[in-house]
Amino acid sequence: MRILMFGWEFPPHISGGLGTACYELTRTLSRHGNTITFVVPRANQPARQSPVHVVAAAGVPLPYPSSVEEFFQSLNLKTADSILRPYLTEEDYPLALRAASGDGTKNEQPSVMASPNHYGKNLMAEVARYSEIGEELALKEEFDIIHAHDWMTFLAAIRAKRATGKPMVAHIHAAEYDRSGDSINTGIFEIEKMGMEAADHVIAVSHYTRNLILSQYGIRPEKVSVVHNAVSRHQATRVYHIPHDRKKKTVLFLGRITSQKGPDYFIEAAARVLEKTPDVMFVMAGSGDMLPRMIERVGTLRLGTHFHFTGFLQGHDVERMYAMSDLYVMPSVSEPFGLSPLEAMIYDVPVILSKQAGVTEIMPHALTVDFWNVDDIANKILAVLKYPALSRELLRNGRKALRSIRWEVAAERIQLIYNKLAV
């Protein structure tokens, strides 16, 4: 089967879990005999030698070095000439526009084909322009199914569907209610609703997300299926021999530093832990709009000698950070799924999860907390660090859960959806 996919990001240009999920899903779906054309907004990177030929819609080849050559033989990655990027907001868009036009800092280089009037004047205009590119690409490609990941791609998928008559799947990794809580961007909400209504089928990454789709967007229940994300063992082929019996334990927060992820609750819990034991180092890895406030809060609480901000990490640095940690905490306010705790468990790191995270659906024995209950978070951090038997039990349950959480299962469920729509 031939699949036309629209996404925000794809390796090696990754900002979060969506890029990883898209890579793993396409890689596994290709094993089922599918040929996949994946369309993303182009990343401004120079062309260089690569074992994979990547065709850019803007005429600029992009690199993708990888040893998984069989997968790339069935993947046609196309990059549309657009400055859309993951988690781009209306407030950030003018900065991205100036950078793309070569009107940013003196170190920025003008983008290929960029001009003051080339891109949309605001975020929504650029999403609409990207949808036009999507339609043009759809008219040139041969495919059986359209598969769109999250809101920025939905208008492109809708136009591709209208132009070709092919069935469409809308894949919801995170909804606007997850990102913004009660202060939603109504424009994004309307695009999400439009995309789900236009789709022939909707995939949610958890039952938590499915319930949100039904209650807030009014989509018919029979139209929405749950396909949980997974994690692959090949992501942990490198083994870091870092001892976990150090006197000073390390507690990790890794993710976007935004209100959705609950970094402020992590810091408040850290303060309570340090009141009882000083032999703990807290690490906040990531970037986001709340980072300056979090640094200021750590300073106000006088936790500087017990706190480390790494900034955005990727690749080997992420793996090493997991391997150096004794405990991973995810205090998300709203988390449709959450791949990072599964990744942490690959490195034998016990986890504490927010009850508001979809990943708890496939980890019934995980240690969970309400994100707002900082005393409970602190007490459970102390318990895991103090009692090795509890840590070992969490790891044992985690390894058991990992054995049944595979991308192959997710791909098989998606394949069934494709087969029904392509009849």
Report the CATH number that the domain containing residue 337 is assigned in CATH.
3.40.50.2000
In a shared domain, residues 248 and 188: no
In a shared domain, residues 158 and 83: yes
Cβ atoms within 10 A of the Cβ of 373, count?
16
What dihedral do alpha carbons 328, 295, 312, 82 form, nearest 10°?
A: 130
Q: What is the pLDDT of residues 352-368, one digit of tens each?
A: 999 988 888 888 888 99
For the chain, how many structural domains are there in total? 2
What's the one-letter identity of residue 123? L
pLDDT at 241: 53
In a shared domain, residues 396 and 416: no
Residue 55 phi, psi (nearest 5): -95, 120
Q: Extract the tokens encoding 94.
A: 């003018």
Q: Extract the tokens encoding 110.
A: 């003008």
What is the residue range of 63's domain? Answer: 2-230+407-421
Helices (H) and strands (E) counted in the chain, each on its own, are: 15, 14
pLDDT at 57: 36
pLDDT at 79: 58
Structure pTM?
Answer: 0.71
In a shared domain, residues 290 and 203: no
β-strand partners of 147:
5, 169
Q: What is the pLDDT of residues 106-133, one digit of tens each?
A: 443 333 333 344 555 667 777 888 888 8
pLDDT at 49: 34
pLDDT at 231: 77
Q: Which residue has the tokens 């606007």?
A: 176
In a shared domain, residues 281 and 365: yes
Which helix (H) or strand (E) covers residue 327, if one does? strand 327-330
Bridge-based pairing of strands 75-80 and 55-56 is parallel
Q: Round to whole Å and give the CA distance between 26 and 18.
A: 12
In a shared domain, residues 399 and 312: yes
In a shared domain, residues 51 and 179: yes
pLDDT at 246: 65
In a shared domain, residues 262 and 244: yes
The packing angle between helices 186-198 and 207-217, to 10°, is 100
Q: Round to whole Å and give the CA distance between 275 and 391.
A: 22
Residue ranges in the chain whose pLDDT is less than 50: 43-72, 104-117, 235-239
In a shared domain, residues 207 and 244: no
Q: What is the DSSP letter of 75?
A: E
